[in-house]
Amino acid sequence: MGLTMTNTKHSPTASLVSTGEEVLRGEILDANNRYLASTLGEYGFDVQLMMTAGDRHEDLRFVMDTALQRADYLFISGGLGPTEDDLTNTVAAELAGHQLVFDEASWEAILTLFRKYNMEPGDNNKKQAMFPEGSEILANANGTAPGFCMNLERHGDKKTIVALPGPPRELHPILGNWLDARGYTSIPPEEHLFLRFLGIGESPLAEALEPWTKEWGEVSFRQDFPEMEVKLYQPALDKRLSLCEFAINHLGSVLSTFSRNPVPELFAEFMRSSSQTLAMAESLTGGLAAKIVTDISGSSEYFLGGVVSYSNPVKTNFLDVSAKDLDREGPVTASIAEQMAIGALKRFDSDLALSFTGIAGPDGGSEENPVGTVWIAKADAGRCQSKKLNLLPERDRIRTAAVYCGLHWLMEDWLKEKYKQQTQAWAKN
């Protein structure tokens, strides 16, 4: 029977290894180790380390052996192909002191797949039907490289190697079948605590949380630019409520949610729940705000449209921004942002409007308005407010952060009420 964090005292430990020169050189991203870490973590494995090896025999042996020294399980992806540099099965057999044996059933499955596409296998494809003696073969319905699972004695203890093919469309279902067959169950997401923050980096966030962590223990950080995510794995209720209360009291200005939902998804929920409509006026963001909002399915219910007023004449002609103010002050001021928001509100006859103007760089900054200066404004039928942001340079990051900050600001009161209700519900249960 499989082990999970919910019903055992000791979580199984795992090391992850990806193979291939193209991964080692950074030519392709190591998506497999990322997927394995995320999936195995949710199934109760304690991931100890990740490593990547190229196609050299001595390197692969060193990495695999090191991985086995550190953990109960080694999950390795890649190296199961037909060429001479595909060495996973060979090295696994060496580490176990076993021979490679030919599996006729696997070879027939490979032949069947080739015939399905009117292709003929080469002699080297027979290598893909060679496995360490005593292995459990993991069938691959989507490719010609079956995986395998083998037990061995190594470093004075019992170890397990789970070898998986490299292509994600093959790896994912094989891993899922392996977990299911052994009775592993994923930990429900609601058993973890997620907090998301906007407008603060990892270092200052860690520093701000230090008084809490000194009392309760460490948290996990993950950057999901421009947001930061903090996670507690299966915390007890008192620990969960303590962190939430600390975040509300000490980090309320940058706190978004007690969930994994990023700002755009929260904003969609806010707009649907409020039954309001939205219009936008964009300058430096160049339509990015509208894109981010409309990336969420169902946004047509509340998003009416926007004006990309990149030039001053568009600001005056389409949003009724004062030409005199533009000439006298320039386009990056509180007044211009507010006039843009009011102009969008009137032109689209919307309930809410949001505007963005600023300097995304890399050129165009000044001593008064350096690159990263952004003014945002929000308007409704009753009032219009503006807010200045000073964002770290890098054009795309400035534009993206500006949009997230604008959306967050528009729904900040709703967010505060939402996480207040959430903590009250947890306390009652």
We report the CATH number of the domain holding residue 87 as 3.40.980.10
| pLDDT tens digits, 210-220 | 999 999 999 99
If asked whether residues 23 and 172 sit together in one domain, one would say: yes
Residue 15 pLDDT? 98
Where does a domain end: 200, 230, 257?
257
Long-range contact set of residues 109-115: C-beta below 8 Å, sequence gap at least 24: 109/139, 109/140, 109/146, 110/144, 110/146, 113/143, 113/144, 114/144
We report the CATH number of the domain holding residue 388 as 3.90.950.20
pLDDT at residue 96 tops 60: yes
**Helix residue ranges, H only, 232-333:** 237-251, 263-274, 288-294, 312-319, 323-329
Residue 6 pLDDT? 38
Percent of the chain with pLDDT over 90: 85
pLDDT at residue 360 tops 50: yes
If asked whether residues 291 and 406 sit together in one domain, one would say: yes
We report the CATH number of the domain holding residue 252 as 3.30.70
Could you list the residue range(s) of the whole structural domain that residue 238 is in?
Answer: 189-257
Confidence of residue 427 (pLDDT cuts 50, 70, 90): confident
If asked whether residues 225 and 133 sit together in one domain, one would say: no
| pLDDT tens digits, 364-416 | 889 899 999 999 999 999 999 999 999 988 999 999 999 999 999 999 999 99
Give the mean model confidence (pLDDT) for residues 265-279. Answer: 97
Model pTM above 0.75: yes
Residue 2 lies in a domain: no
DSSP 8-state secondary structure symbol assigned to residue 156: T
Look at 40-49, 173-182, 288-297, 331-340 and tell me which has the smallest mean pLDDT. Answer: 40-49
Residue 3 pLDDT? 35
Confidence of residue 14 (pLDDT cuts 50, 70, 90): very high
> Amino acid identity, residue 222?
R
pLDDT at residue 122 tops 90: no
Residue 28 pLDDT? 86
Give the mean model confidence (pLDDT) for residues 268-281. Answer: 97
Buried b (16+ CB within 10 A) or exposed e, 231-270: ebeebeeebbbebbebbeeebeebbbbbbeebbbebbbeb
Residue 5 lies in a domain: no
Residue 61 lies in a domain: yes
Confidence of residue 120 (pLDDT cuts 50, 70, 90): confident
If asked whether residues 173 and 202 sit together in one domain, one would say: no
Neighbours of 225 (CB within 10 A): 11
Residue 9 pLDDT? 47
Instruction: Give the total number of structural domains in the chain.
Output: 3
Largest CA distance in the chain: 84
| pLDDT tens digits, 233-264 | 889 999 999 999 999 999 999 999 999 999 99
| pLDDT tens digits, 164-195 | 999 999 999 999 999 999 999 998 888 999 99
Where does a domain end: 133, 150, 181?
181
Residue 4 pLDDT? 35
The total number of residues written for the chain in this structure: 429
pLDDT at residue 8 tops 70: no
Residue 220 lies in a domain: yes
Dist CA 309 CA 319 (whole Å):
8
Q: Cα-flanking dihedrals φ and ψ of residue 270, to 5°?
A: -60, -45
Residue 82 lies in a domain: yes
Residue 355 pLDDT? 98
Where does a domain end: 149, 181, 213?
181
Residue 216 lies in a domain: yes
| pLDDT tens digits, 310-328 | 999 999 999 999 999 999 9
Dist CA 208 CA 230 (whole Å):
12
Residue 1 pLDDT? 30
Residue 121 pLDDT? 87
Confidence of residue 273 (pLDDT cuts 50, 70, 90): very high
If asked whether residues 296 and 383 sit together in one domain, one would say: yes
Tell me what the pLDDT averaged over the chain comes to.
Answer: 94
